[in-house]
Amino acid sequence: MSLAGIVLCGGKSRRMGVDKAGLIFNGQTWLEVAANTLTAAGAAHILYSGRPDLPGGLGDPVADSGPAGGVLAALMQVGVDVEQVLCVPVDMPELSPDTLRLLAAHKGVGAYFEGEPLPFALRLSPAVLTAARQCVTTAARAPSLRALLRQVGCVEIPVPPGLNLRNLNTPQDVAALKPRA
């Protein structure tokens, strides 16, 4: 199965005060951590949503469309040449490849964990691409990522016991981050 990875890294980092993509965890930038996690989970290539300045980087197709717009940009880029995408935010450096493989193994259109729209896995088809485009381009204001995932047919699955799905958004969150052994 062809698998692509999407890193959402175009946010303004208001609460953090600095670009999260450049923060360091275990000797790598958070951007590198996200890309390496996706690669270890099986992604053959990586797209960087919200970062047209990077190789593999994409701008949003609709101005101020938030993460949903970033996801749409990546889906439009890969089209149906890729069977499945895994999407992670840059601010979850503790994610493991096993967590992403668990999502990718879901048999339906796509899956994300209860209460957390990120990370997610999504199988691509013309219908999924059409639904995503419609959700983002026809909304009066930027749709939530959860709304986009529901529109395309993703389902919530239970969070496995002990799984850490922590977004790091403040300097205090970073100070509490523990290096991997």
128-173 confidence digits (pLDDT tens) = 999 999 988 887 777 889 999 999 999 999 999 989 888 888 888 8
Is residue 173 in a domain? no
Q: What's the distance, CA 158 to chain centroid? A: 18
Is residue 167 in a domain? no
Is residue 175 in a domain? no
Q: Which domain holds residue 37?
A: 3-159
Is residue 155 in a domain? yes
Is residue 165 in a domain? no
Is residue 76 in a domain? yes
Nearest alpha carbon to residue 1 among 103, 83, 85: 83
Is residue 49 in a domain? yes
Q: Whole-prediction pTM value?
A: 0.91
Is residue 93 in a domain? yes
Task: Indicate the number of domains in the chain.
Answer: 1
59-72 confidence digits (pLDDT tens) = 877 777 788 888 99
What CATH number is attached to the domain comprising 125? 3.90.550.10
Token output for 133 = 């485009």
**Is 157 within 8 Å of 108 (Cβ atoms)?**
no
167-179 confidence digits (pLDDT tens) = 888 888 888 888 7
